[in-house]
Amino acid sequence: YWSPNINIFRDPRWGRGQETYGEDPFLTAAMGKAFVIGLQGNDPKYLKAAACAKHYAVHSGPEQSRHKFNVDVTNYDLWDTYLPAFKQLVVNAKVAGVMCAYNAFRGQPCCGSDILLNDILRKEWNFTGYLTSDCGAIDDFSAPNAHRTSPDAESAAAEAVLHGTDVECIVGPTSYKSLVKAVKDGKLTEKQIDVSVKRLFNIRFRLGLFDPIDQVKYRQIGLSELESPKHHAHALKMAHESIVLLKNENQLLPLKKNLKKIAVIGPNANNENSILGNYNGIPTKLVTALAGIKAKLGANTEVVYTAATGYTTANPTLKATVDSIKDADAIVYVGGISPKLEGEEMRVNQPGFDGGDRTSILLPEAQTQLLKALKATGKPVVFVMMTGSAIATPWESANIPAIVNVWYGGQDAGTAIADVLFGDYNPAGRLPVTFYKSDSDLTSAFDDYSMTNRTYRYFTGKPLYGFGYGLSYTTFKYDLLTTPAAIQSGKNNIVSVKVTNTGKMDGDEVTQLYIAHVGAKMKAPLKALKGFERNFLKAGQSKIVRFELKPEDLVLINEAGNSTTVKGKLMISVGGCQPDAQTQASKKTVSKTVSII
């Protein structure tokens, strides 16, 4: 099972960022570890499935040049940003497989990298699982329009196997078919190939493929589990919990259910493709936003629908379209972008999109113009945004009263959207990426992998919506932050905080812990997430939330890429979002500065 994708979503222009867990190494490592443990199971002998951490390493676009570009980053960025999640999954989650990336790293293709494969993965991390190439990546060693680090397929195959790439995923030519000739020509030995063969058979043994079915509990899982009621419920739960309320001016949301007429419009309102993302299965039943709203309101409310606009193409009959719905009690615009525009190496060339990546992070102008026309009707407008990446919405955020980011929510996305819009579910999702204000905030070229001024950890500007941001229909207050008088660098340290639901509605709250090394004499993130926990609190209820800061949470990375224990001042902040002066004044976050000894 070639998942999870634990690359760092360092730049919102990358089309495949939708597959990742976001821009933060700690969050990515935590989510990836949970995924691997859940997928592989807890049987001491057998694997439920064999997870595969990809794409190793330093990989996040551009899609069009991934077969030939060479990445070189500082040792600081390598070990501070790009490798921590892979280390967590290999060393602690015991992931069964790793997939090496298409790109080259410091002059060698990742599937033939001395540094990444031999030195770090096999020797330093003691990885004993199998390593697969990305599909067609070995051909890139010798292809004339790719890396061209090997003269022919035979040499490419030998080079990859000698670097521990055990299996080749193929599309088109097959370099590994030339391994027999490579042995005959003395480029590697059969014994060296046997190393890979043993690893591959070991995974098959661990999956129980050679044992009687009655001895392998995971092979007894029947097809009836597919789309079982509990899995349907889980799909809805994931859709619910991922929705992020970005804006809710004057508590426009939730909408009342007794509306006489509601207009549901936009290119994603009734689009099944846009709720599935990419690398997805095909569910038996899909619920779009339109279907979910219709089911929620029933026959007493007139629901009118029109796509109204394309993603990037304007509606030539815009005025007539808007005139036809201006008598609605409320307008729900379901727009954003689509998996048909952003994704893996796609043949897409539309304004703002190229080859699977984005050339602009702004909401396409055609949609902004429609939203301006909707705003001019004077009716309440809700913008439901579907996307797999951060979209800059400067006009919308200033002028549209309610904005809900619903991502690509899966098979029951429409039910979840309707539940949130009409108050049957209180949203508590948080952004795993920074939503910048404009293209000008992206000060580095897309193919520049330096982390300078990238992500919340190093961005020095003010974002439109920050990493970790998300609103609720209720309010929460934080106080009683408790920490040790001094943090002991070699030990676990307990931090606790009291969180209270001070509003009138029950709901979840995602409590987040950030640290910042105050006055550090070496390079350090501006702030860094080191803990998070989601809890349900009834109106008026309080809870003490505890975090454990481990020694590895407190280290910094030096210029050589080594973890370094530092002394000095540490600011610990806990709350429902990143800390700043405004959130601290409103008790949405609380902070304390202590010494590390």
Q: Residue 330, preceding bond cis, omega within 30 degrees? A: no
Q: Cβ(337)–Cβ(384) under 8 Å?
A: no
Question: What's at 513, amino acid-wise?
Answer: L
Q: Is there a catalytic annotation at residue 134?
A: yes
pLDDT value, residue 185: 98
**pLDDT over threshold 80, residue 173:** no
Which residues fall within 8 angstroms of residue 316, CB to CB, at 6 or more apart? none
For residue 318, name the pLDDT band (cuts at 50, 70, 90): very high
CA trace torsion 304, 305, 306, 308 (10° rounding): 80
Tens of pLDDT along 203-216?
999 999 999 999 99
**pLDDT over threshold 80, residue 454:** yes
Closest to 566 in 3D by CA, of 554, 550, 552: 554
**What distance in Å separates the CA atoms of residue 468 and residue 170, rounded to the nearest whole number?**
39
pLDDT value, residue 581: 83
Please give the DSSP secondary-structure letter assigned to residue 215.
G
Closest to 505 in 3D by CA, of 461, 550, 467, 537: 537
**What distance in Å separates the CA atoms of residue 231 and residue 127, rounded to the nearest whole number?**
33
Tens of pLDDT along 429-439?
999 999 999 99
Tokens, residue 427: 């949203």
Taking CA atoms, 424 is separated from 219, 241, 373, 417, in Å, by: 39, 13, 30, 10
User: In degrees, to the nearest 5, what angle opens at C-alpha 129 toward C-alphas 205 and 153?
Assistant: 105
Surface-to-core class of residue 68, CB atoms within 10 Å of its CB (0-12 exposed, 13-18 middle, 19+ buried)? middle
Q: Residue 55, preceding bond cis, omega within 30 degrees? A: yes
**pLDDT over threshold 90, residue 584:** no
Closest to 207 in 3D by CA, of 352, 49, 42: 49
Q: Cβ(527)–Cβ(586) under 8 Å?
A: no
Sheet of 493-501, strands arranged across: 476-482, 493-501, 542-549
The Cβ-side half-sphere exposure at 451, using a 13 Å CA radius, reads 25
**What distance in Å separates the CA atoms of residue 311 and residue 289, rounded to the nearest whole number?**
16
Question: What's at 459, amino acid-wise?
Answer: F
Bridge partners (DSSP) listed for residue 496: 482, 546
**What distance in Å separates the CA atoms of residue 42 and residue 59, rounded to the nearest whole number?**
30
Specify the pairing of strand 563-564 against strand 556-557. antiparallel
**pLDDT over threshold 80, residue 478:** yes
Taking CA atoms, 353 is separated from 128, 347, 360, 433, in Å, by: 40, 10, 7, 19
Tokens, residue 509: 């709250």
pLDDT value, residue 586: 87
Closest to 17 in 3D by CA, of 52, 53, 61: 61
Tens of pLDDT along 282-309?
999 999 999 999 999 999 999 999 999 9
**pLDDT over threshold 80, residue 339:** yes
The domain defined by 15-220 folds into TIM Barrel (3.20.20)
Average pLDDT over residues 180-195: 97
The CATH H-level superfamily of 476-596 is: Immunoglobulins (2.60.40.10)
Surface-to-core class of residue 364, CB atoms within 10 Å of its CB (0-12 exposed, 13-18 middle, 19+ buried)? buried
pLDDT value, residue 580: 87
**pLDDT over threshold 90, residue 158:** yes
For residues 519-535, b (16+ Cβ closer than 10 Å) or e, as one string?
eeeeebbebbbbbbeeb
Q: One of 63, 342, 354, 396 is an active-site residue; which one?
A: 342
Taking CA atoms, 318 is separated from 283, 305, 352, in Å, by: 34, 14, 21
**pLDDT over threshold 90, residue 271:** yes
Tokens, residue 160: 């990859």
Q: Cβ(102)–Cβ(121) under 8 Å?
A: no
Dihedral pair phi/psi, residue 136, rounded to 5°: 90, 5
pLDDT value, residue 582: 86
pTM above 0.85, yes or no: yes
pLDDT value, residue 174: 86
**pLDDT over threshold 90, residue 558:** yes
pLDDT value, residue 235: 97
Strands (DSSP E) contained in 416-520 are: 476-482, 486-487, 493-501, 507-518
Question: Rounded to an integer, what is the distance from CA 320 to the centroid of its chain?
Answer: 39
pLDDT value, residue 374: 97
Tens of pLDDT along 25-44?
999 999 999 999 999 999 99
Tens of pLDDT along 51-94?
999 999 999 999 999 999 999 999 999 999 999 999 999 999 99
Q: Residue 62, preceding bond cis, omega within 30 degrees? A: yes
**pLDDT over threshold 90, residue 262:** yes
Average pLDDT over the chain, rounded to an integer: 97
Three-state SS at 303: strand
- What would be the CATH architecture of the domain defined by 226-429? 3-Layer(aba) Sandwich (3.40)
For residues 94-103, b (16+ Cβ closer than 10 Å) or e, as one string?
bbbbbbbbbb
CATH 2.60.40.10: which residues of the chain? 476-596
Q: Map tokens 């098959």 to a residue.
A: 204
Q: Cβ(52)–Cβ(96) under 8 Å?
A: yes
Which helix (DSSP H) or strand (DSSP E) does residue 531 occupy? Answer: strand 528-537
Q: Cβ(188)–Cβ(114) under 8 Å?
A: no
pLDDT value, residue 491: 93
The CA radius of gyration of the chain, in Å to the nearest whole number, is 25
Q: Within the chain, how many helices (H) and strands (E) appear?
A: 16, 25
**pLDDT over threshold 80, residue 172:** no
Bridge partners (DSSP) listed for residue 167: 132
Q: One of 23, 134, 166, 509 is an active-site residue; which one?
A: 134
Q: Is there a catalytic annotation at residue 43?
A: no
Tokens, residue 419: 């539940």
The proportion of the chain whose per-residue pLDDT surpasses 90, expressed as a percent, equals 95
Q: Cβ(512)–Cβ(574) under 8 Å?
A: yes
Can you state the percent helix, strand and coil of the chain, rounding each to 5? 30, 20, 45
Average pLDDT over residues 319-329: 95
Three-state SS at 175: helix
For residue 445, name the pLDDT band (cuts at 50, 70, 90): very high
